[in-house]
Structure 1
Amino acid sequence: MTLKPIPFGKPMLGDAERAAVADVLAGTTLVHGPVTHAFEQAFAERAGARHAISVASCTAGLHLALLARGIGPGDAVVVPAMTHVATAHAVEFCGARPVFVDVQPDTGNLDPDGVERALTESKARAVMVVHYLGLPCEMDRINALAGKARAMVVEDCALALDATWDGRKAGTLGAVGCFSFYPVKHMTTIEGGMVTTNDDALAAAIAQRKAFGYDRTLDKRSKPGVYDVTVLGYNYRMNEVEAAVGLAQMAGLDEVQRRRANNDRVIRAGLAVLPEVTVFAPERGPAKSSHYCLNAVLPPDGSIDRDRVAALMKEDGIGTSIHYPEAVPLMTYYRDKYGYTPGSFPVAEWLARQTISLPVGPHLEDGDAERVAHSFVTAVAKARTEQSKGG
């Protein structure tokens, strides 16, 4: 019997999303409308933030957060070496310089010791914390270090929706948080993102810069089409269709998160028979993960080949991913521009070589989590045997 394939991720859209989109398309307002405002308010309430500003993507949000604080040429920003390139790209967009810091081997999160050194040596004006795969960084210490250095803390929450640190949600743990609604994230707006902050002035600056730098919003113009531009801005808006999908997604988000946590628990239990595999914990001190995926990291000595394990699981119909395929400073653009060399970021480089991300999303049906775990364990055993015989 051929078993159905289990993709790493899958957008979960239903009748509620389709009806919400149809309602928007039946009207005459596609941007600057009430659905976007309602989505922003609902998201702010869930995140526990005073402000939520919808944007075109998480990348756009990261760029705007730095731009709104005046970060630009001549400035430095601390960035983890293990992250999606968007985190570092946002710094480059501002003309600033990313200062890469290695990550912790048991979480993949920014190493606070490295942050302290980087702040001292570079005089960085901001620290970009990435809650790797949904587990919050050590925010108390990082905030203390940043505060002492008078550096802004920007949270990249692309994979951390509903994650918490000491009971407070990601996106409220620094000056500003940026979320992604890419199709396979915890929730989607097809494309899009959200910026959260408790800082009134920062929220206003970000909102202005996401729409060309207009000095007044559509509803505050005494004469239609008349406005001034007082700062440089971008077209980083979210439209009403995307916001409608987001609002519908939020209605079912509690159940989605429950299923993610349960799938994570089942797969984690199945992998317990592999002591040589590092499985990142869903909780660490006051940090609790959002369960974006389950990360399993194979030994650094290469005794088990990651690519072979992934290939064997693919043959078994199981989709996997890699977070991420290279330490960012060793990707061609950054390596060529700044001269970074292999060996400079040993933990990030190990993760890039040997990490496998396993699916825990709500698209997994009954028995799927057990099947994912069994496939991984079987693939590891086969890959180990093949490599041993080959050596």
Structure 2
Amino acid sequence: MTDAPIPFGKPMLDRPVFDAVNEVLESGILVHGQVTPAFEEAFAARIGAKHAVAVSSCTAGLHLVLFVNGVGPGDRVAVPAMTHVATAHVVELQGAEPVFVDVDPATGNMDADLLAAVDGPLKAVMPVHYLGLPCAMDAINEAAAAKGAFVLEDCALAVDAVYGTKKAGTLGLAGAFSFYPVKHMTSIEGGMVTTDDEELATQLRKRRAFGYNRMLGERARPGIYDVDALGFNYRMSEVEAAVGLKQLDQLDGFMAARAKNAETLHAALSEIDGVTAFPLEHGPARSSFYCLNAVLPRDGSVDRDKVVDGLKARGIGSSIHYPGPVPLFTYYSEKYGYRRGDFPVAEWLADQTISLPVGPHLGEEGAGRIADAFRAAYDDAR
């Protein structure tokens, strides 16, 4: 019997999730109900933040924080060169300029020394916890403070990641999380913003719903409200929140499986000549184990496409994080004039890494299968 393929990611959905969704559907209250606040409260407690605000996506959360803090034309916001394009897009959408910072070759995270060396003022700094390993937040916060900038963590891959005694999402003014289907936990789509700033949380809740001065349950008469500020339609539905709540109940098990799989795979890759893997711990940072990046020889002597094809032929899904530095994508390179060679570390990671799955969908033997398949694919490609 042939082993079933292992996809890069897979949402872990079971009967309690389906029952929770049905309960919401049968209630007839699909937005503005009590499930979303319950999810917010539970997530804030999990992360260790005073407030959590549910939104329609991590991108929406990042955008809202910039919007509420008045980031706009003439402002500059530091973002890492190696990230999902959403991190930079939200800066552009506010009419501000993203200032791209190359990354640390040991971790793929924003290089704090390069951030400190950025010329000119910054309105905000947006560190991204690359693949779930927290950035060097002490140094980043210090550099941001020196420039008068607030810090907004992109925690899209960093649920439960730890830095010292605190979790990602509590290391700056705010953090934004993603619940996309193949993340650590899902709400189908959706995201969450965490913060200890009560006024920021109040404004985020208001601006995610058009700028209403009264939420649905606060209106003395149905349909009567005022709008005293600009806002968006960035709300999370009750269905999504119900899925998120049940996933949060299961997160301990999901994370334990991820840690075990990542450690098994990391040990196996370390035995392959010429291959390295990004660390699961680095200084005070401990990863959330989103995936594991295998790093091929920097000289390009091994064809990555052949390795990826070899994995696919053996039933192993993989991914690339990310296909290129954001400033070299056509939109940004044409607008700002960036060229190949401007971000050497990010360019190297884009060219010579392969992201391997470590999620709970691997089962008991999955990590070993992936290690064997990678070793064979790598040997074939040499």
Q: Matched residues in 2 for 1:270 and 1:157: separation? A: 28
Q: Secondary structure at the match of 1:154?
A: strand
* 1:233-252 pair list within 5 angstroms: 233-252=231-250
Q: Matched residues in 2 for 1:134 and 1:293: separation? A: 8
Could you say which residue in structure 2 is the equivalent of 1:366?
364
Could you say which residue in structure 1 is the equivalent of 2:174?
176
With the length of structure 1 as denominator, give the TM-score of the two structures: 0.97
Instruction: Name the aligned partner's letter for residue 31 of structure 2.
Output: V
Whether the aligned pair in 2 keeps the contact of 1:36 and 1:238 (CA below 8 Å) is yes
Instruction: Name the aligned partner's letter for residue 295 of structure 2.
Output: V
How far 1:275 sits from its partner (Å)? 4.1
How far 1:3 sits from its partner (Å)? 2.1
How far 1:358 sits from its partner (Å)? 0.4
CA displacement, residues 208-236 of structure 1 (integer Å, 9 cap, x when unaligned)? 11111111211111222111112211000
Q: Matched residues in 1 for 2:66 and 2:315: separation? A: 42
Q: Matched residues in 1 for 2:122 and 2:31: separation? A: 37
Whether the aligned pair in 1 keeps the contact of 2:129 and 2:157 (CA below 8 Å) is yes
Q: Matched residues in 1 for 2:68 and 2:173: separation? A: 12
CA displacement, residues 170-213 of structure 1 (integer Å, 9 cap, x when unaligned)? 00000000000000000000000000000011111111111111
CA displacement, residues 276-308 of structure 1 (integer Å, 9 cap, x when unaligned)? 222111001100000000111112211011111
How far 1:313 sits from its partner (Å)? 0.4
Whether the aligned pair in 1 keeps the contact of 2:179 and 2:187 (CA below 8 Å) is yes
Q: Matched residues in 2 for 1:344 and 1:234: separation? A: 36
Could you say which residue in structure 2 is the equivalent of 1:131?
129
CA displacement, residues 253-273 of structure 1 (integer Å, 9 cap, x when unaligned)? 000000000000111111122
Q: Matched residues in 2 for 1:128 and 1:364: separation? A: 32
Q: Matched residues in 2 for 1:149 and 1:208: separation? A: 29
Could you say which residue in structure 2 is the equivalent of 1:113?
113
The answer to whether residue 127 in structure 2 is matched with residue 122 in structure 1 is no
Q: Matched residues in 2 for 1:54 and 1:176: separation? A: 13
Identity %: 61
CA displacement, residues 119-151 of structure 1 (integer Å, 9 cap, x when unaligned)? xx1311000000000000000111111112110
How far 1:97 sits from its partner (Å)? 0.5
Q: Secondary structure at the match of 1:363?
A: helix
The answer to whether residue 200 in structure 2 is matched with residue 202 in structure 1 is yes
CA displacement, residues 66-107 of structure 1 (integer Å, 9 cap, x when unaligned)? 111000111000000000001001101111110000000010
Q: Secondary structure at the match of 2:257?
A: helix
Whether the aligned pair in 1 keeps the contact of 2:270 and 2:276 (CA below 8 Å) is no
CA displacement, residues 36-55 of structure 1 (integer Å, 9 cap, x when unaligned)? 01000000000100000000
Q: Matched residues in 2 for 1:274 and 1:347: separation? A: 22
Q: Matched residues in 2 for 1:25 and 1:380: separation? A: 49
* 1:325-340 pair list within 5 angstroms: 325-340=323-338
Whether the aligned pair in 1 keeps the contact of 2:73 and 2:95 (CA below 8 Å) is yes
The answer to whether residue 57 in structure 2 is matched with residue 57 in structure 1 is yes
* 1:289-368 pair list within 5 angstroms: 289-368=287-366
Whether the aligned pair in 1 keeps the contact of 2:162 and 2:286 (CA below 8 Å) is yes
Gaps of 5+ in 1: 385-391
Q: Matched residues in 2 for 1:200 and 1:253: separation? A: 27
Could you say which residue in structure 1 is the equivalent of 2:12?
12
Could you say which residue in structure 1 is the equivalent of 2:74?
74
* 1:268-307 pair list within 5 angstroms: 268-307=266-305
CA displacement, residues 13-63 of structure 1 (integer Å, 9 cap, x when unaligned)? 000100000000011211011000100000000010000000000000000
Q: Secondary structure at the match of 1:87?
A: helix
The answer to whether residue 45 in structure 2 is matched with residue 42 in structure 1 is no
Whether the aligned pair in 1 keeps the contact of 2:269 and 2:276 (CA below 8 Å) is no
Range that drifts further, 277-286 or 179-188? 277-286
Runs of 4+ aligned residues of structure 1 deviating over 6 Å after TM superposition are none
Gaps of 5+ in 2: none
Q: How many residues align?
A: 382
Q: Matched residues in 2 for 1:125 and 1:275: separation? A: 44
Could you say which residue in structure 1 is the equivalent of 2:2?
2
Whether the aligned pair in 2 keeps the contact of 1:187 and 1:253 (CA below 8 Å) is yes
CA displacement, residues 151-177 of structure 1 (integer Å, 9 cap, x when unaligned)? 010000000000010020000000000
Whether the aligned pair in 2 keeps the contact of 1:99 and 1:122 (CA below 8 Å) is no
Instruction: Name the aligned partner's letter for residue 348 of structure 2.
Output: W
